[in-house]
Amino acid sequence: MLLCDFHIHTKFSDGSLDLRKTIDIFGQTGFDVIAITDHVVNGDHPIGKFAHRFKLSVTAKNFGEYIENIRYEAQRAWDKYEMLVIPGVEISKNYISSDKSAHLLIIDIKEFIPACMSIESILIEAKNQGALTVACHPHHTPDRMNKDTLFLWNNREKYCRYIDAWEIANRDDFFSVVAHKKFPYIASSDFHRASHIFSWKTLLNCQKDVVSVKQCIKTNKGVAITLFRN
Ligand code: ZN
Ligand code: ZN
Ligand code: ZN
């Protein structure tokens, strides 16, 4: 099965390592498929304004450069490690209230999507681009203290038809409540620094190409999760 991680941050947002170093860590560890998913933060709230100011968010302005860098590194990763690298973002709608906050992975994104649009518009735009949508850390995370993102889970009946998969595990946290619902699932590291490589991961039984990977996750056939340890 393919060893995969679909939730990875670099210095393009708040990750501690640059893109190339990040890719080398995953390549050298033997991963088959990864997605780079730096934050795109909503600028319509002080938290987001702060993120923009301190360059902790991909923006409309540097999105082109971001994608170009990922595509370049993806070719290098394929030649060197036979590892598939897919460009993505983590739309990060941050508010004081956990009930309003939502984080959403858009994997295989082509055009910039602003995080200040409504969740519904974002999901529809992602679908129009043929991207995969994943609700991330959708339930309470004990070590994130007041930074829970519960909007998608609380409104799951309304939005589940647009959401291709749900993270049932993120780094060290397992969301059993989410796992009980029979939605398609993945598990990811939410990688921000090197030690995060040891965390929950997804295993896929499919071909190593973008179309097959997206299809495998959507249909949720041949998907497993594993707690990847040293
Ligand atoms: Zn982050
Ligand atoms: Zn997040
Ligand atoms: Zn993240």
Distance 85 CA to ligand 1 centre (A): 19
Ligand 1: distance of its center to the CA of 139 in Å?
Answer: 16
pLDDT at position 146 is: 62
Three-state DSSP state, 137: coil
CA 79 to centroid of ligand 2, rounded, Å: 30
56 alpha carbon to ligand 3 midpoint, in Å?
12
pLDDT of residue 51: 75
Greatest alpha-carbon pair distance for the chain in Å reads 45
Residues 6+ apart with CB under 8 A from 103: 90, 91, 92, 93, 135, 136, 137, 149
Q: Specify the CATH number for the domain of residue 39.
A: 3.20.20.140
Nearest ligand to the CA atom of 15 = 1
Ligand 3 mean position to 127 CA, how many Å?
A: 20
One pLDDT digit (tens) per residue for the chain, 230 residues: 999 999 999 999 999 999 999 999 999 999 999 999 999 999 887 877 777 777 789 999 999 999 999 999 999 999 999 999 999 999 999 988 899 999 999 999 999 999 999 999 999 999 999 999 999 999 998 876 668 999 999 999 999 999 999 999 999 999 999 999 989 999 999 999 999 999 999 999 999 999 999 999 999 999 999 999 97
Could you tell me if 34 and 42 are in contact, meaning their C-beta atoms sit under 8 angstroms apart?
no
> From the CA of 91, how far away is ligand 3's center (Å)?
9
> Which ligand has the shortest distance to the CA of 13?
1
Residue 202 pLDDT: 98
Domain holding 87, by residue range, is 2-227
- Report the half-sphere exposure of 215 (CA within 13 A, side-chain side): 8
Ligand 1 centroid–CA 166 distance in Å is 18
Total of domains in the chain: 1
Chain-centroid distance of CA 84 in Å reads 15
With 0-12 / 13-18 / 19 or more C-beta atoms within 10 angstroms meaning exposed / middle / buried, residue 125 is: middle
Find the 211 Cα to ligand 3 centroid distance in Å.
23
β pairing state of 132-135 and 165-170: parallel
Tell how far the Cα of 115 is from the centroid of ligand 1, in angstroms: 15
The Å distance, Cα 192 to ligand 1 centre, comes to: 7
Distance between Cα 9 and ligand 1 center (Å)? 7
- Spell out the SS3 assignment of 68-135: HHHHHHHHHHHHHHCCEEEEEEEEEECCCCCCCCEEEEEECCCCCCCCCCCHHHHHHHHHHCCCEEEE
